[in-house]
Amino acid sequence: MQNHFNEEIENLNTNLIKMATLVEEQIERVFTALETGDIMLCKGVKAKDNEIDSYDNLIQIQCENILALFQPVAVDLRFILSVLMTNNQLERCGDIAVNIAKRIKKTGGTVSFIKESQILEMGQQAKGMLKNAINAFILNDIEIAKKVLEDDDIVDNLSKLIFRFLIDKMKTDNSLIEPCSHLIVMIRNIERLADHATNIAENVVFYLEAKIITHQKKLQSPVE
């Protein structure tokens, strides 16, 4: 029975890593397209997202089967729960890649303006957070997970800075209203990408330290 359980856990872990790899490739692809203005890089992003969705369904089924058959407890139960939650976050990151690709197709001719706006810096920061969050989960590294949690403020601050920059540009140049509108949607998606990376890091903390820190920052902030 224990050997069977270990095999199921190993298969589950392998599939989550495969899914995470696909998501990272998608994110890398769209941010390269954003930086270079190469819209052709966005081709196939939607099709690849279907593969991510398939892994999402598979991992959910695997987790349900393991819970039903083996009724794990303690650290094993936390692992299954954290996989379920991380699986959900990765699927949403795949959706974000699709959303960003759609906006790139609308703004591909404004590469110099995009560079000026600091969106590329924001994207690199969020992409790095996702990579670190995935590595933290795979390597069971609590320190990497905590670094992701700290970096979330950097993305939030960049989001506010870029939003103000885009609003100011729209006020002074009517020709920039449409591209700026698309870019505002894009920075919201990048901010959500960082949020999902943060959630994955929180799942790592839950799995390794048995601590629930979700919404901790919000709950500790004074109510306005």
Q: Kindly report the CATH number that applies to the domain delimited by 2-214.
A: 1.20.58.220
CB 15 within 8 A of CB 59: yes
pLDDT tens-digit series, residues 116-141:
999 999 999 999 999 999 999 999 99
Task: Please determine, for residue 217, whether its predicted confidence score (pLDDT) is greater than 70.
Answer: no
Q: What is the mean pLDDT of residues 153-158?
A: 97
Summary count for the chain: helices (H), strands (E):
8, 0
Task: Please determine, for residue 223, whether its predicted confidence score (pLDDT) is greater than 60.
Answer: no
Q: Which residues contact 68 (CB under 8 A, 6 or more apart)?
A: none
Please tell me the distance from the alpha carbon of residue 93 to that of residue 24, in angstroms, as a whole number. 9
User: pTM here?
Assistant: 0.94
Report the pLDDT value the prediction gives residue 2, as an integer from 0 to 100. Answer: 84
Structure tokens belonging to residue 62: 């695997």
Backbone torsion region of residue 74, taken as left when φ is above 0, otherwise alpha when ψ lies between -120 and 50, otherwise beta: left
Please tell me the distance from the alpha carbon of residue 12 to that of residue 219, in angstroms, as a whole number. 33
Report the pLDDT value the prediction gives residue 214, as an integer from 0 to 100. Answer: 84
